[in-house]
Each structure stands twice: as structure tokens, then as C-alpha cells.
């Protein structure tokens, strides 16, 4: 398993697309749009801080979903068939890919945080920055599993648009791009049930010096279990078909 993990880490480091989608895009969006609500308070924080966390989460989710859905190309190339003949059980293969995907959450949190510090002089204590980075890394696990479920379950031609639609819907409805505070009542309740909102909530609460909300952790745990089951089933099904 360690050898497979090292192999996947080297592959991740050689993929330049992640830099554009998970780092450059969120940073540019923050620099352009973060000033429109600078005087407001969102999610209990000054707007520049809340928007910073939302867009960092946006970049993180983009990265992990892209890594996960890319396995559809590996499946089409016969890579999963080769993994099938190794001693690695399906659960470990899925776990390694999910871990690799979650690592892509770290660069957008750091870079959007730097942009916020430069443009709006956002200041957090060292402890809160560390908590923010740790929680927003760990919180990407359900999205990594969702990307794997899409990649293992669909062909490359279908996986790409499905991945994009899932990312767009979860980001918009979960309040990563536009704060859920501004949503009408029904959409606000929907946002609170989505993993994207609860993922960003980890960052919002840590930036405010609060521990994660039990309700938010329960929602994230439920989505994680659902996506893990879907990813494992899709992996087994794809290797059997090969």
C-alpha cells in the first residue's frame, strides 16, 4: 500500500491542471469579488474572512473531484485491471486515491489565505490558521470519495460533465461561491444539508475560534459513508467488467 501511495503522489505532483483549477481560479475570484460585501458579517465573521474560506473550499473541492474523476481515464486505459491482480484490496485502493485527492485541498487554502491577507489584511492567530488548514484538509474526504465514485462508475466521456455538474451544484447550493446567508429560506435549509456547506462551516467556525458543530460533523459523516460505499461499489463493478 505504501508503494502505491508513493506512486500516486508522484503522479499528482506532475499534473499541472490542478494548479489552474484549484489555485489560480479561486485566488483570482477572491481578488476580484471579495470587496463587494467587505462591510458585512457572514457566518459570524467579517465578510473578507468568510469569503476567503468559501473560495478556499471551492478550490479544494474542485481539486479533489478532479483527481477522483480522473480515474475514469485510468479505467479506460486498463490500469484498474492491473491493480485488480495485485494484493491490494478494493478498500485500500479507494482509500489511497481518496487520500491523494484530499491533499489537493492544501494549496488553495494557503494561497487564498495569502490573497486575503494581502488584499484585506485578514489576520488570524497561528493556532487558528493551523486549525483552518487541518480541518479543511480533512473535510475534503467525502468529495474525494464522490469523485472516485464518478470516475470508477462512468466512462471518461460521461464522467467529465457529471463531475462538473456535481461540482457546480454543490458549490453554488452549498454557499461556497455566494454566502448561504443571502439564500431564501428553502435554499438555505437545503444548503445546510449539503456537505459543501458543512465543509466550509468547519473553516468558518475554526476561524472564529469555535469547535466544529456536532450537527455539521454528523452531516459530513453521513455523506462520507454514502460516498465511500458508492466509490467501493463502483470500483468493484468496474474491475469485474474489465
pLDDT tens sequence across 178-191: 888 888 989 999 99
Q: What domain range includes position 183?
A: 2-241
Q: Is the pLDDT of residue 39 over 90?
A: no
- pLDDT tier, 37 (very low <50, low <70, confident <90, very high otherwise): low
Give me the chain's average pLDDT, please: 84
| Predicted local confidence at residue 217, as pLDDT | 96
- The H-assigned helical ranges of the chain are 2-13, 17-18, 25-33, 47-69, 71-76, 79-84, 90-103, 106-120, 126-138, 141-153, 156-173, 185-192, 195-207, 214-241
pLDDT of residue 88: 67
Residues 178, 184, 188, 190, CA torsion sign: negative
DSSP state of 211: P
> Full-prediction pTM beyond 0.75?
yes
Number of domains in the chain: 1
Instruction: Give tens-digit pLDDT for 220-241.
Output: 999 999 998 998 888 777 766 5
Percentage of the chain beyond pLDDT 70 is: 81
Nearest to 206 by CA among 138, 139, 127, 148: 127
Q: Which residue has the higher pLDDT, 173 or 231?
A: 173
Amino acid at each position: 500500500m505504501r508503494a502505491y501511495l508513493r506512486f500516486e503522489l508522484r503522479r499528482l505532483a506532475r499534473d499541472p491542471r490542478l494548479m489552474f483549477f484549484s489555485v489560480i481560479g479561486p485566488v483570482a475570484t477572491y481578488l476580484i469579488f471579495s470587496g463587494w460585501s467587505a462591510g458585512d458579517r457572514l457566518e459570524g465573521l467579517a465578510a473578507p474572512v468568510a469569503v476567503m474560506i468559501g473560495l478556499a473550499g471551492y478550490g479544494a473541492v474542485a481539486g479533489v473531484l478532479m483527481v477522483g474523476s480522473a480515474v475514469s481515464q485510468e479505467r479506460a486505459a486498463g490500469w484498474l485491471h492491473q491493480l485488480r491482480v495485485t494484493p491490494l484490496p478494493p478498500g485500500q485502493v479507494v482509500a489511497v486515491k481518496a487520500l491523494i485527492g484530499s491533499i489537493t485541498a492544501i494549496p488553495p487554502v494557503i494561497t487564498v489565505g495569502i490573497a486575503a491577507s494581502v488584499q484585506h489584511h485578514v489576520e488570524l492567530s497561528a493556532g487558528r490558521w493551523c486549525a483552518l488548514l487541518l480541518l479543511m484538509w480533512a473535510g475534503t474526504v467525502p468529495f474525494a470519495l464522490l469523485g472516485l465514485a464518478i470516475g470508477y462508475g462512468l466512462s471518461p466521456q460521461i464522467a467529465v460533465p457529471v463531475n462538473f455538474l456535481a461540482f457546480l451544484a454543490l458549490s453554488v447550493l452549498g454557499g461556497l461561491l455566494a454566502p448561504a446567508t443571502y439564500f431564501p429560506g428553502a435554499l438555505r435549509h437545503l444548503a445546510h444539508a449539503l456537505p459543501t456547506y458543512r465543509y466550509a462551516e468547519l473553516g468558518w467556525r475554526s476561524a472564529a475560534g469555535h469547535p466544529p458543530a456536532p450537527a455539521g460533523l454528523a452531516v459530513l459523516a453521513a455523506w462520507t459513508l454514502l460516498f465511500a460505499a458508492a466509490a467501493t461499489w463502483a470500483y468493484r463493478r468496474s474491475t469485474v467488467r474489465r
